[in-house]
Structure 1
Amino acid sequence: MNEEVQFIIDSTKEQMESAIHHLEAEFVNIRAGKATPSMLSGVKVEYYGSLTPLSQVANVNTIDAHTITVQPWEKQLIPEIEKGILTANLGFNPMNNGESIIINVPILTEERRRELAKHAKSEGEHAKVSIRNDRKDANNELKKLDISEDLLKNTEQDVQDLTDEYIRKVDDLYIIKEREIMKV
C-alpha cells in the first residue's frame, strides 16, 4: 500500500483513539453514586497566587462509599480548598473540621440517575460525531492523492471499517457507564 495512504489511515486511527480517550475522561467525571477521589480531579485551588490541582496540595481519599476526605498538606489551605470545591460546582457541600475537609456524597435519586445516563449518552454522541468527522477528513485527504480508483475505494472501505470499530467501542463504553450509573 502507498505510504501516503498508510499515513492517512494511521493518523485517522490516532484521532479516533483520541476521541475514545476523551470520552473515557468525560465518563470519569460523571459520578455513579459511589464516592471516588477522581470526583475532585477537576478542582483547582488558589495556591501562592496560581490555580493548582487539588491533588498537588492535599491527599484525597475515601473513607467509605459515600464520604471523601481531603487532608491538606498546609492547614491554612483549608478555606481555599473549600472555595475550590464550591467553585467547581460539583454539587458537594464540604465540611471543615479544622484538620481536614469531609465531603458527604449524597445517594443519587432515580431522576438524577436518569439525568446522568442522558448526559453520558450525550458525551457518547459527541465522541461518535468526532469519529465521523475523522472519517470525513480521511476520505477528503484520500481523494486529494493521486491513486487508482480501486485503491481509493478499498482504502475508503478500510476507513469505514475503522469508523465502525470505534463507534462500537463508544457504544460499549456507554453501556458499561449506563449500568454503573443505574446500579443502586
Structure 2
Amino acid sequence: MRRICVYCGSSSGNDPLHRSAAHALGAFLARNGIGLVYGGGHVGLMGAVADGALSEKGEVIGVIPQSLMEKELGHGSVTELHVVKSMHERKQLMVDLSEGFIALPGGFGTLDELFETLTWLQLSFHDKPVGLLNVGGFFDGLIDFIGHMTRSGFIRAEHAASLLVAPTAETLLARMEEFRPPDLGKWIEKLAAEGR
C-alpha cells in the first residue's frame, strides 16, 4: 500500500499509551515507505501520528475543513495540507487519497469516519481494507457490540469480518495487505429472500 489513512482523536485522551501508540504508528508507516493521510490537525493523537511519520521523514498529507483550522490547529510541517469546505469533502478526499484505513482511539468523529468508510466497503463503493488498531483493548467494547449486532441479524458475518482488528501495527498491516473484500453478489436481494 502506498498510503494509509489514519482516523484518530484531536484529543490525546487520558492514557499516555494512546499518544505513544499514535506516534509509533506514524513512524512505523514511514519506515515502511507508506504515506500517511490524516485529519490535518496538529493536536491530540492527530498531531502525534503526523509527528511520528515526520520523525522518520515520511510523507504526511493532512485534510482539514476551513472551519476547523483554528479549532484543530492545522499542522504546519506536513508534506501537504488540503483545506476543504466541509466534513463531507474532507472524508471523501481522505478516502480518495488512501489505499487503506486504520482507526486509533478517538471520539465521535473517529467513529463517524470509521463507520462511514466501513459502510462504503460493505456497499462496494470501495474495496480497501479497514482496520482497528486496538491499543490496550480500547475498542473491546465496540468489537463486542459489533458481534451483538451481527448475532441480532443486522450485520452479515462476512461484513463484520471485513473490519480487521489487531493489537499491533505490524500485525494489522500484514492483515491489511492480505485483505480481499467479501464477494456476496447481490447481498441485499439475498437478505430480502431470507426475510430480513
Shorter chain as denominator, the TM-score bin is: under 0.3
Larger radius of gyration: 1
Higher helix share: 1
Q: Structure 2-normalised TM-score?
A: 0.21
**Higher relative contact order, chain-length normalized (CA < 8 Å, sep 6+):** 1
User: Please, what TM-score do these two structures have when normalized by structure 1?
Assistant: 0.22
